């Protein structure tokens, strides 16, 4: 699977797109290849196992040569590439504040002011797209960081045992899709990607 900073990217992607009707009992349902699947929130034991896995990955990466923490990577990017992550954060925050202000203006509009409402909605879309572009740019720069690699592995590991397939609709029978993480990693279909995105969406949306 491609490395990406799911911790931040999907938090942005899920804004205004999370369908609460699909979420019930800490689960999110989705369709794939003609079948119904669901991802569920991990219980305390499962979360502890996934955290242990993440910590092991973190320590393993920390011991390797040529690996960097987020702090080290930020410093290197600024010194060697003139890429200022802190500046990107400020730009994203400024756009976030602008979105909030437009939302406040929109809330004061009357239903009859359709043209004005549409204009404000388009303005919000433009601002959010600009902000998302900055978040994605920042995430791309910071993907190699030890913390982000470990966090991405945490979500992959968790999605391997938090994804279930509907076997019998009448009896509401579900079964775990992958028997273990190795089988999840060996799955060449799009399902692991989709399950990963849905689980992260669920964890940020609940």
**pLDDT per position as a tens digit, 92-147:** 999 999 999 999 999 999 999 999 999 999 999 999 999 989 998 999 999 999 99
How far apart (Å, rounded) are the C-alpha atoms in residues 77 and 132? 20
> What average pLDDT does the structure give for the chain?
89
State pLDDT tens for residues 55-104: 999 999 999 999 999 999 999 999 999 999 999 999 999 999 999 999 99
Higher pLDDT, 3 or 33: 33
Mean predicted confidence (pLDDT) in 41-51: 94
How far apart (Å, rounded) are the C-alpha atoms in residues 153 and 162? 14
Confidence of residue 24 (pLDDT cuts 50, 70, 90): low
Confidence of residue 12 (pLDDT cuts 50, 70, 90): low
Angle at CA of residue 159, ends 169 and 198, nearest 5°: 70
Helix (H/G/I), strand (E/B), else coil: 180: coil
Mean predicted confidence (pLDDT) in 176-191: 97
Indicate the pTM of the whole model.
0.74
How far apart (Å, rounded) are the C-alpha atoms in residues 206 and 193? 20
């Amino acid at each position: 699977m491609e490395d990406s900073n799911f911790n931040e990217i999907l938090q942005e992607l899920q804004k205004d797109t999370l369908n609460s009707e699909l979420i019930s009992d800490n689960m999110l349902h989705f369709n794939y290849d003609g079948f119904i699947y669901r991802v569920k929130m991990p219980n305390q034991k499962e979360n502890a196992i996934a955290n242990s896995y993440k910590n092991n990955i973190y320590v393993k990466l920390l011991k390797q040569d040529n690996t960097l923490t987020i702090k080290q990577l930020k410093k290197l990017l600024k010194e060697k590439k003139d890429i200022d992550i802190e500046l990107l954060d400020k730009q994203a925050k400024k756009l976030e504040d602008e979105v909030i202000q437009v939302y406040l203006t929109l809330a004061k509009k009357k239903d009859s002011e359709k043209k004005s409402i549409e204009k404000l909605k388009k303005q919000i879309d433009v601002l959010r797209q600009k902000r998302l572009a900055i978040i994605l740019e920042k995430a791309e720069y910071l993907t190699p960081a030890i913390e982000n690699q470990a966090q991405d592995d945490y979500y992959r590991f968790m999605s391997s045992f938090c994804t279930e397939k509907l076997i019998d609709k009448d009896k509401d029978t579900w079964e775990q899709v992958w028997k273990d993480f190795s089988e999840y990693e060996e799955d060449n279909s799009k399902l692991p990607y989709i399950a990963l995105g849905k689980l992260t969406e669920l964890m940020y949306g609940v």
